[in-house]
A and B are shown apart, each in its own frame.
Chain A
Amino acid sequence: NAGVTQTPKFRILKIGQSMTLQCTQDMNHNYMYWYRQDPGMGLKLIYYSVGAGITDKGEVPNGYNVSRSTTEDFPLRLELAAPSQTSVYFCASSYAPRTGQVGEQFFGPGTRLTVL
């Protein structure tokens, strides 16, 4: 049981390049999330999904896209990378103790992205 896995661990992009951050969970959780973490700012929600085929914007979605074709995978796409997207990105998954509730979120190890 690997939990939540993310690849890559580190990446350096040039301005204008694109990339996909991969996230996979093996806990059969319906809810999945993408956060970015910047020093002193806590975690900001980028996108989330409540099940395969269903995604929604979080607090800071601009410059990102997601898809959720399976329960296990929730990739995050960066188009036209900008220096403002330099951050640490965490994927998380969660079960639903009741409809509309969020249980404990399980986090992946993170991807450190630098855009130069």
Chain B
Amino acid sequence: AQSVSQHNHHVILSEAASLELGCNYSYGGTVNLFWYVQYPGQHLQLLLKYFSGDPLVKGIKGFEAEFIKSKFSFNLRKPSVQWSDTAEYFCAVNPQYSGAGSYQLTFGKGTKLSVIP
């Protein structure tokens, strides 16, 4: 079974600091990749996704992520965080099996981001 690793459990940053959250997955084939955000007390919302093409994808609210196939990674970045970015961030992977797809997403355990004003 595939797994998704988010190495940072809790990240604390000051406003205007740069952010990078790590995500690694275990599946060796073709994958679709997602980052979701969950603001306090709310449900998950999509930040960005990668299906194919340019490995650097841009999402909402100034977030971007880079797919590095050789490293099985899809790290999330933002050059300057704001207090409103305080949330939990989840990486998710949809593996594409040869001959058939997969209907499931596998989620990482999440990284809590706290931004101090």
Contact = CB atoms under 8 A, between A and B. Distances in A.
Contacts of B109: 40-42
Interface string A15-57: 0000000000000000101000000111101001010000010
B25 interface: no
A42 B45 contact: no
Interface string A80-109: 000000000010100001111110110111
Contact of A101 (B9, B94, B110): B94
Contacts of B97: 100
Contacts of A41: 109
A101 B43 CA distance: 22
Interface residues on B, range: 20 to 34
Contacts, number: 60
Interface string B32-45: 10101000001111
A107 B90 contact: no
B67 interface: no
Nearest to A90: B43
Contact of B101 (A40, A48, A98, A104): A98
B49 A107 contact: no
Interface residues of A, dominant DSSP? loop
A43 B43 contact: no
Interface residues of B, dominant DSSP? loop
B110 A42 contact: yes
Contacts of B110: 40, 42
Contacts of A97: 51
A97 B96 CA distance: 12
A101 B90 contact: no
Contacts of A56: 103
Contacts of A98: 101
Contacts of A61: none
Interface of B: 9, 32, 34, 36, 42-46, 49, 51, 90, 94, 96-97, 100-105, 107-110
9 contacts: A41-B109, A42-B110, A43-B44, A100-B103, A101-B96, A102-B102, A105-B105, A107-B43, A109-B42
Interface of A: 31, 33, 40-43, 45, 48, 50, 56, 58, 90, 92, 97-102, 104-105, 107-110
